[in-house]
């Protein structure tokens, strides 16, 4: 069968599965925001091609050189600030309106799912738009340009981005809710993630163990591809809207 015929068949099958299911979940990664102009981490133009993650996305790096880490985050915040949701984000927001039990789980910190209108949203790696005080623990949304390094208005302590770095635990309530959602899901969409970072990658495996029908959407094969029930190769912004009526 030709690739296009096969993709058409999978699209039809996916539409049918989504139409019949009540419990649906999606796990998204950096790839879904690529078409909005937000760089991914591991692709050819990925952030980890230009920077060592050990220097920028670990608690040790922040302790060693908070100014360097904040330079990188301020650069990313400025880069993302004017980016808008693409048809992929919008399709998932629409899926939530069609299927109220839909649960979206994202590894992304860019806030684009929320901007697209998704509300049943678990941002398991935090948000680049939230800061947290390393002394008093207070969190707040901060969209304005920040000093480098910024300090807490309440206690003058050093602020950090409220994101999850390597070696740090994900918020238990959010991670538990994500595992619950994929365990209950009849259909799971795995969109634009390399599936290399744990524990997020385990969510797809958990869905598989629980019997979900899993569709992967990605421009490249991933370690999970051969375990998915179906794969639609291509950009999320082109494929996701085609899954909906
Ligand atoms: C498209 C597309 C288009 C492009 N359409 N597709 C078990 C085994 C081995 C290691 C570990 C393990 N358990 C834990 C670890 C360690 C570590 C880990 O996983 N390391 C691996 C690298 C090996 N994990 C952790 O440290 C985690 N913490 C933890 O486990 O804590 C345990 C603990 C418990 C109790 C106490 C203390 C500790 C934390 C992980 C945090 C990850 N953080 C980051 C940064 C977030 C903040 C920020 O953004 O600044 O999260 S790293 C980065 O990777 C970011 C992402 O969310 C994450 C995943 O990346 P993603 O989204 O998959 O992006 P890419 O770039 O990898 O892939 C993009 C994909 O899109 C590609 O496939 C493209 O083909 C595709 N694509 N355009 C569709 N248009």
Q: Kindly report, residue by residue over 53-78, the tens digit of the pLDDT.
A: 989 999 999 999 999 999 999 999 99
pLDDT of the residue at 62: 97
Let me know whether 181 and 239 are in one domain. yes
Range of the structural domain that residue 197 is part of: 1-37+84-125+169-245
Q: What is the pLDDT of residues 79-126, one digit of tens each?
A: 999 999 999 999 999 999 999 999 999 999 999 999 999 999 999 999
Residue 50 has pLDDT above 90, yes or no: no
In this prediction, residues 172-186 reach a mean pLDDT of: 98
* Exposure b/e, 125-163, CB count within 10 A at least 16 = b: bbbbbbbbbbeeeeeeebeeebeebbebeeeeebbbbbb
More confident residue, 208 or 50: 208
51 is catalytic: no
Let me know whether 155 and 187 are in one domain. no
In this prediction, residues 172-199 reach a mean pLDDT of: 98
Residue bearing the CA closest to ligand 1, atom 77: 31
User: Residue 69: which CATH number?
Assistant: 3.30.1600.10
Q: Which residues contact 199 (CB under 8 A, 6 or more apart)?
A: 170, 175
**Residue 98, token pair as written in the block:** 């069609």
Let me know whether 159 and 234 are in one domain. no
Residue 1 has pLDDT above 90, yes or no: no
Residue 198 has pLDDT above 90, yes or no: yes
Let me know whether 183 and 238 are in one domain. yes
**Residue 169, token pair as written in the block:** 């635990």
Let me know whether 89 and 207 are in one domain. yes
Let me know whether 231 and 242 are in one domain. yes
Let me know whether 54 and 5 are in one domain. no
Cβ atoms 70, 148 nearer than 8 A: yes
* Pocket lining for ligand 1, CB < 6 angstroms: 29-31, 34-35, 40-43, 46, 57, 107, 109, 125, 163-169, 192-194, 196-199, 217-220, 222, 235-236
Instruction: Give whole-number Cα distances, 141 to 54, 133, 174, 206, 209, in Å.
Output: 26, 12, 18, 32, 37
Q: What is the pLDDT of residues 227-241, one digit of tens each?
A: 999 999 999 999 999
Let me know whether 241 and 185 are in one domain. yes
Let me know whether 100 and 133 are in one domain. no
Let me know whether 150 and 226 are in one domain. no
Q: What is the pLDDT of residues 127-175, one digit of tens each?
A: 999 999 999 999 999 999 999 999 999 999 999 999 999 999 999 999 9
């Amino acid at each position: 069968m030709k690739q296009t015929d096969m993709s058409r068949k999978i699209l039809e099958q996916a539409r049918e599965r989504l139409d019949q299911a009540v419990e649906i979940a999606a796990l998204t990664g950096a790839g879904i925001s690529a078409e909005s102009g937000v760089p991914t981490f591991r692709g050819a133009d990925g952030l980890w091609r230009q920077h060592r993650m050990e220097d920028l996305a670990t608690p040790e790096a922040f302790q060693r050189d908070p100014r360097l880490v904040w330079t990188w985050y301020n650069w990313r915040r400025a880069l993302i600030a004017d980016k808008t949701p693409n048809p992929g984000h919008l399709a998932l927001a629409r899926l939530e309106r069609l299927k109220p039990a839909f649960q979206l789980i994202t590894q992304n910190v860019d806030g684009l799912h929320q901007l697209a209108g998704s509300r049943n949203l678990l941002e398991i790696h935090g948000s680049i738009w939230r800061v947290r005080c390393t002394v008093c623990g207070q969190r707040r949304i901060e969209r304005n340009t920040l000093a480098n390094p910024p300090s807490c208005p309440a206690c003058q302590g050093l602020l950090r981005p409220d994101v999850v770095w390597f070696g740090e635990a994900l918020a238990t309530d959010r991670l538990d809710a994500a595992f619950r959602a994929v365990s209950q899901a009849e259909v799971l969409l795995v969109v634009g993630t390399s599936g290399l970072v744990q524990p997020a990658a385990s969510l797809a495996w958990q869905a598989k163990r629980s019997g979900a029908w899993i569709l992967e959407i990605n421009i490249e094969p991933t370690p999970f591809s051969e375990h998915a029930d179906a794969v639609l190769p291509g950009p999320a912004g082109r494929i996701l809207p085609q899954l909906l009526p």
